[in-house]
Amino acid sequence: MKILLAEDDPKSADYICKGLKEQGFVVDWVADGREALTYCLYNDADLAIVDRMMPGMDGLSLVKALRAAKSNLPVIFLTALSDVDDRVDGLMAGGDDYLVKPFHLSELLARITVLGRRPKQSTQEPTELVVHDLKLNLLTRQAQRQGRNIDLLGKEFSLLQLFMENPGRIFSRTLILEKIWDFNFDPGTTVVETHVSKLRQKVDKPFDVALIHTVRNMGYTIRAPH
């Protein structure tokens, strides 16, 4: 099993690396969160052990970015933050397990063994969505069309992601409210229409070909030109 250890404390990292290697694991160590993210996305690893507090990018942000990129890499948080809220935050961010420092190496080994029993998914979903000449990077949350960057606000990004994950599918106003705003009722506002209009101003108006379309009496869709 190949393990990435993301830990900024050299003493802790040396102790963990030595203990894991003695048990036959292959271990790579990085001390920076951004470096850990790059490693996880572009290298084959079976599991990551991640400290919560690191330079470059904290552990929570690292795991959230991995999950946004559709990575299913098992992650064990290893941290001195021991409050219940901290553990809940770690698990809700996408962590698979949470081990508090100080810890016994035998317990870490047991948790690695348990996660190693889980079946692996055969495919990893892409980190980028493409419709015609429009690209949406799910990791950097950056949209680009014809080489030009498009700055999107939070809900605009979520709305465009919803459309681009389902090109050609028509989304009703009600369904958009449910998926983007988590409303199971009609708030009686034009929030959907307003956001679709703003998205069109950014994604379609500066370019010759429109990708976002209104389907009368049905909703909205994104599709490439025929």
Could you read off the pLDDT of 33-88 as tens digits, one per residue?
Answer: 999 999 988 888 899 999 988 998 998 899 999 888 888 889 999 888 767 777 78
Local structure of 143: helix, strand or coil: strand
What tens digit of pLDDT does each residue of 10-42 get? 999 999 999 999 889 999 999 999 999 999 888
Contact 200, 221 (CB under 8 A): no
- Mean local confidence (pLDDT), 157-174: 93
Contact 186, 177 (CB under 8 A): yes
On the question of a cis peptide bond just before residue 167, with omega within 30 degrees of 0, the verdict is no
pTM equals: 0.52
Task: Give the domain ranges of the chain.
Answer: 2-116, 128-222
Question: Which CATH number applies to 2-116: 3.40.50.2300, 3.40.50.12160, 3.40.50.10070, 3.40.50.720?
Answer: 3.40.50.2300
Contact 225, 217 (CB under 8 A): no
Question: Which CATH number applies to 128-222: 3.40.50.1370, 1.10.150.530, 3.40.640.10, 1.10.10.10?
Answer: 1.10.10.10
Kindly report the CA angle at 157 between 170 and 52, in degrees rounded to 5?
130
CA distances 39 to 4, 14, 195, Å, are 8, 19, 36
Say how far apart CA 222 and CA 201 lie, in whole Å: 14
What tens digit of pLDDT does each residue of 132-147 get? 999 999 888 899 999 9
